[in-house]
Amino acid sequence: MPRKTEVLPDLPRVMITGPRGIRTIELDEELLTDIRELIHEDARAILVNILADLHAADLADLLESLDEEDRQYVLGLLSPQVASEVIPELTEGLRESLVPTLKTETIAQIVSELESDDAADLIAILPDNVATRVLRALSTEDAAKVRHLLRYPEDTAGGIMALEVLTVPRNDTVKTAISKVRRSAKQGFKMHNLYVVDDEDRLVGFLPVGDLVLQGPGRRMSTVMDPQVISVRSDMDQEEVANLMRKYDLVSVPVVSDLGAVIGRITVDDIVDVIQEEATEDIERMAGLAGSEEISTSVFETSRIRLPWLLVGFAGEMLSALVLSSFQASLEEIIAAAFFIPIIMAMGGNAGIQSSAIVVRGLATGEVRMAQTGKRLGKEVGIALLNGVILSMLIFLVSYLWLGDIRFGITVASALLVVVINASLVGASVPLLMDRIKVDPAIATGPFITTTNDALGLLIYFGIMSVLYNT
């Protein structure tokens, strides 16, 4: 049987060579088709050649685009070192479904290549029986690090920190410190700062690694360090850590024990993940979703997550219907009143969501504090008043030109002004109230605020109309 000649597919159209020969890839359907054909033909040599120089993030994108069987095939072509760089780049849902399918020895090899924080995250997503087998397959030192990190809640500084941290006594010379940095670098540690400790191992200062080589080799660390070091406790919430690092433009921050000893460090790449996770969580809750929802989530599970909040909205809209029925006489007498219900409700809902979104974001980033409650509400009233006046003037002009009734125009304009102010106050005050009682402010938005504004908006609209028309 003649040997099949393996020919590399024509890929220059999608390959971009970057600095130091690292290549990035722009996936398109034609390239994916080529790769799938190579997988089905078992053309390992060609695939290894294609994958060899690709960035880990691009390999992760490739795995995301393949079906389950092809993913496992491609992952099997990667060395444990490369796989350890790719797996953290995958979405959480894909990691949870893909990693447990690997052999215990393969998972152990991948975990051993990861830094301690990523290793703990990977072990945490495994079923208990698989995690136990993997921990047994690790070296004693690696297993001990992972077990130590798994003790911390995942949403705290301890849960996202890495144990690979370099400390030096303050009486060490710069020459000695440089030697320690070199030894750590050979072990694959990525270090941004060197942390200086006293005789009792308490943190007293730091020095960026890049600045270390600029110092005289005989100088003591106590004379070259920066004593103004910012640190966090292991029980600090990850969102607070992210806000702190953003505020002070930190690349990394040390984690200290109750006694002030350095026990780990958090780097900016971990914080980027935290920011994305917290933002996703807030968006889900503002949309009325009680839990995380992914493409792989089943129809029934997705329904279970969404239905309770839809029922809250349903109850709120039933209240709106009750308000409408109470003002049936007004509607019959002034048919035109019904024409303006959608615009008044929409403007109120939009104003409420705008206010709540700004306050929720401000609370999450630390820009809004409870001490600023009065100032925040006052600002929202001012904004609502300005926007409400402009919108009221517009709706008065439209209604007057349309119907030629000044009294009706005044009614609609007044109602819209009051509805916008009310909605803005509700949107701003509810998240602040929830934060005060230690409930995540994001859960107060979405269906809750929308339905509240609908019911109150209708009540305001027809209440003003009843007064002005004596109905």
pLDDT tens, 12-28? 334 444 444 444 555 66
From residue 114, alpha-carbon distances to 29, 196, 209, 268, 447 in Å are 32, 25, 22, 17, 42
pLDDT class of 3 with cuts at 50, 70, 90: very low
Query: Is 70 exceeded by the pLDDT of residue 176?
Result: yes
pLDDT averaged over every residue in the chain? 79
Cα 273 from Cα 278, distance rounded (Å): 9
pLDDT class of 160 with cuts at 50, 70, 90: very high
Query: Is 80 exceeded by the pLDDT of residue 380?
Result: no
Burial of residue 395 (CB within 10 Å: 0-12, 13-18, 19+) is buried
Domains of the chain: 15-155 (1.25.60.10), 167-286 (3.10.580.10), 299-469 (1.10.357.20)
Greater confidence (219 vs 319) lies with: 219
pLDDT class of 369 with cuts at 50, 70, 90: low
The answer to whether the CB of 122 falls within 8 A of the CB of 99 is yes
Whole-structure pTM value: 0.60
For 404-440, the pLDDT digits (tens) are 878 888 888 888 888 888 888 888 887 777 777 766 6
Query: Is 80 exceeded by the pLDDT of residue 296?
Result: no
Least confident of 33-47, 76-90, 186-200, 371-385: 371-385
For CA atoms 405, 407, 408, 413, the dihedral sign is positive
For 24-47, the pLDDT digits (tens) are 555 667 778 888 888 898 888 888
Cα 395 from Cα 230, distance rounded (Å): 54
What percent of the chain is predicted at pLDDT more than 90?
23
Query: Is 70 exceeded by the pLDDT of residue 219?
Result: yes
